[in-house]
Amino acid sequence: MVMRTIWFVAQISFFGLVVSRLVVPELKGVYFQYYVSGIIIMMLYSTSVFIGYDIFEEAEHGVFEYLLSLPVSRRELVLGRSIGGGIRSFIFVGPLIVIALAIVGVANPISFIIALSALFFFALGVSGMSITIAVALKSGDRFDILMGVLDALIIRLSTVMYPQIFIQNASQLYAAVARFNPVTLASDLFRWGVGIERYLTVTPLVAVVGLVGFFFAFTFVGVTIYEKRLEGGGWQ
Amino acid sequence: MAIIRTVDLTKRFKELTAVDHLNLSVEDGEVFGLLGPNGAGKTTTVLMLATVIKPSDGTAVVGEFDIRKNPDDVRQLIGICFQEPKLLWVSTPWDVLNWHAKVCGLTKQERKKRVKLVLEDVDMWDHRRKNVHGLSGGMRKRVEIAKILIQRPRIAFIDEPTAQIDVIGKHKIWNMIRELRDEGSTIILATNELYEADILSDRVAIMHHGKLLICDTPKTLKDSIPGGDIVEIRLEDEAAQTLVTELRNFPEVADVVETTTKNLRIYLNRVEEVVPQIMKLFLSNNLPIASINMAEPSLDDVFVHYTGLTIEEAQQKVH
């Protein structure tokens, strides 16, 4: 938590401030706020991924078998883990959101509350995705590598750090991927919530629907994988 | 009435067949011992019956539910005490048990009451606020057992309950298992401790290499060894050959060995029924007995009889 807070502060205090002076004229004056909002989503993504690492720790200590023997359905178990992971990442990122709001401001509190609610589904979806990948791979090393690769791609092929229009200028393919990237939807929604509406990729409604869909998809996939991979033969 | 019935229950892990076409039934309310060396397939059987892992072949009915078709319903009936204590991410015995009770659906009031009661029962009340990772092996095991005592499931699976526990601790745990049975739980006790299986189980199933070798009451299993009981009789005078022949004519007697002219070693079954008859025979022949010594076979002898190995040898082969 301390490390990530320092990382966040360093990113906005050094990198964000310097890069906002390098950008093209049309982004001057807005890029810093744009970047700070994006960094919040990056933090939310990376803290939601933590739950996958917890799975390996639980497997190592044999807690997994205990959880699978409890009088709860697999669906409840995966949902419980996703919600737990999502809430935890929100608790981690909460103070950083406050810092971001102090920098960016909030134009419309209702929009912000709507955006924040939808971001909760984003955190749950990422937690579900992380659980799904962890359980599917059953290997801490492979999980670590894949999450590193995924993080590199999913963050960079999104509007976390740059608007969609500039991605499109670089590559149509990149733009196509970024448009459907849940990180893009979450970034856009957060920016809409705080009142940065200039470079939205999709409408807020589409972003909300997309994030809720992302959550349901990974919860469903998570349950299926959980049953297939774990009930089929334990952890190893 | 059978509360668990397995039908060709099989589990394969790649080339290894951990459980091989297991067919057994467990009666409602009994303590059913699953006895075998490490690697016999006991834990895998328990995990399949508890729906933690799926069988490769065959199935089982637990309560009235098939483990393949209704795993969620099966889990409502069961509770497991694992071989290695599973102490979760929470830090104290109180938290571990409170969390477990919560997941098992106990109300806040019930939880508070039952967690306290059980912690006192397992002598862990004074340690309830200690970090679980700082507890001794025996204490951790008691916390694991306490989960079952709080849950009071209809069917309790208890895996190696006294492994690495001292003698006093063993007796405490055995009493807890008996109490749980008396409260109405059916208990499946997986163990490689022969004495434990003998004194606790109403019936014992012996497993070896994933297969069921035999299943019956400990007494019947011991009686099933031809000449398993040994009676040594020291006489005051020499025994006549006619008497030895008469002894050999008892249907329960497998062999009579004259170790000296005044000492007889009789290999037989159902010792408690036959000894009075033997005594009567000696008395009617006016042959005074100086001393008599009886030795019953143990489940170890049963295991040796069916596998050709002691349980220690079988375990060494696995390792």
| Residue B129 sits in the same domain as residue B269 | no
Digit-coded pLDDT (tens) for B144-155: 999 999 999 999
- pLDDT for B122: 87
| Residue B54 sits in the same domain as residue B198 | yes
CA B228 to chain centre: 20
- Is position B249 within any domain? yes
Residues of B in contact with A73 (CB under 8 A): 72
Q: Measured between CA atoms, how close is A57 to chain B, in angstroms?
A: 10
- pLDDT for B187: 97
Q: Measured between CA atoms, how close is A135 to chain B, in angstroms?
A: 14
Identify the top-confidence range among A173-182, B261-270, B299-308: A173-182
**Residues B129-142, mean pLDDT to the nearest whole number:** 87
Residue with the bigger pLDDT between A200 and B101: it is B101
| Residue B123 sits in the same domain as residue B254 | no
Q: Which residue of A has its CA nearest to B106?
A: A71
Q: What stretches of chain B adopt beta strand conformation (E)?
A: 2-13, 16-22, 25-27, 31-35, 57-62, 65-66, 78-81, 155-159, 186-191, 203-208, 211-216, 229-235, 253-260, 263-268, 289-295
- pLDDT for A136: 86
**B256 has a pLDDT exceeding 90:** no
* Final residue belonging to a domain, choices B222, B255, B275: B222
| Residue B116 sits in the same domain as residue B211 | yes
| Residue B49 sits in the same domain as residue B191 | yes
Identify the top-confidence range among A131-135, A184-188, B136-140, B240-244: A184-188
* Final residue belonging to a domain, choices B222, B256, B273: B222
Please state, rounded to an integer, the average pLDDT across all residues of chain B: 89
- pLDDT for A232: 55
CA distances from B262 to B125, B158, B239, B255 (A): 60, 49, 6, 17
- pLDDT for B304: 83
Give how many domains chain B has, as a whole number: 2
| Residue B165 sits in the same domain as residue B249 | no
In the structure, what pLDDT confidence band is assigned to residue B174 with cuts at 50, 70 and 90?
Answer: very high
In this structure, what DSSP letter does residue B294 have? E
**Residues B235-262, mean pLDDT to the nearest whole number:** 85
CB contact under 8 A, A234 and B52: yes
Cα–Cα distance measured from residue A228 to residue B215, given in angstroms and rounded to the nearest whole number: 33
Cα–Cα distance measured from residue A155 to residue A181, given in angstroms and rounded to the nearest whole number: 9
| Residue B33 sits in the same domain as residue B128 | yes
- Per DSSP, the three-state class of A41 is helix
Cα–Cα distance measured from residue A28 to residue A14, given in angstroms and rounded to the nearest whole number: 16
In A73-108, where does DSSP find H-type helix?
74-104
Say if CB B50 and CB A69 are below 8 A apart: yes
Let me know the angle formed at the C-alpha of B35 by B32 and B40, rounded to the nearest 5 degrees.
Answer: 130
> Phi and psi dihedrals of B156, rounded to 5?
-110, 125
In the structure, what pLDDT confidence band is assigned to residue A148 with cuts at 50, 70 and 90?
Answer: very high
Cα–Cα distance measured from residue A116 to residue A113, given in angstroms and rounded to the nearest whole number: 5
In the structure, what pLDDT confidence band is assigned to residue B40 with cuts at 50, 70 and 90?
Answer: very high
| Residue B205 sits in the same domain as residue B234 | no
Burial A169-191 (b: 16+ CB within 10 A, else e): eeeeebbebbbebbbbbbbbbbb
CB contact under 8 A, A72 and B105: no
CB contact under 8 A, B50 and A69: yes
Here the CATH number for the domain that contains residue B107 is 3.40.50.300
Digit-coded pLDDT (tens) for A5-25: 888 888 888 888 888 888 888
In the structure, what pLDDT confidence band is assigned to residue B305 with cuts at 50, 70 and 90?
Answer: confident
Cα–Cα distance measured from residue B95 to residue A47, given in angstroms and rounded to the nearest whole number: 25
- Is position B212 within any domain? yes
* ipTM of this complex prediction, to 2 decimal places: 0.81
- The parent domain of residue B190 ranges over 2-222
**Residues B83-89, mean pLDDT to the nearest whole number:** 75
Among A51, A60, A66, most B C-beta atoms within 10 A, so best to mutate, is A66
**Rg (chain A; Cα; Å):** 18
| Residue B202 sits in the same domain as residue B124 | yes
Digit-coded pLDDT (tens) for B181-230: 999 999 999 998 889 999 999 999 999 999 999 999 998 998 888 777 88
pTM of whole model > 0.90?
no
| Residue B70 sits in the same domain as residue B153 | yes
CB contact under 8 A, A69 and B54: no
Let me know the angle formed at the C-alpha of B303 by B302 and B309, rounded to the nearest 5 degrees.
Answer: 130
Instruction: Tell me which amino acid residue A155 is.
Output: I
End-to-end CA gap in chain B: 38
Which residue, A146, A137, A129, is CA-closest to A214?
Answer: A129
**B158 has a pLDDT exceeding 90:** yes
**A231 has a pLDDT exceeding 70:** no
**Residues A118-138, mean pLDDT to the nearest whole number:** 90
CB contact under 8 A, A69 and B80: yes
Here the CATH number for the domain that contains residue B233 is 3.30.70.100
Say if CB A85 and CB A6 are below 8 A apart: no
- Is position B267 within any domain? yes
| Residue B56 sits in the same domain as residue B79 | yes
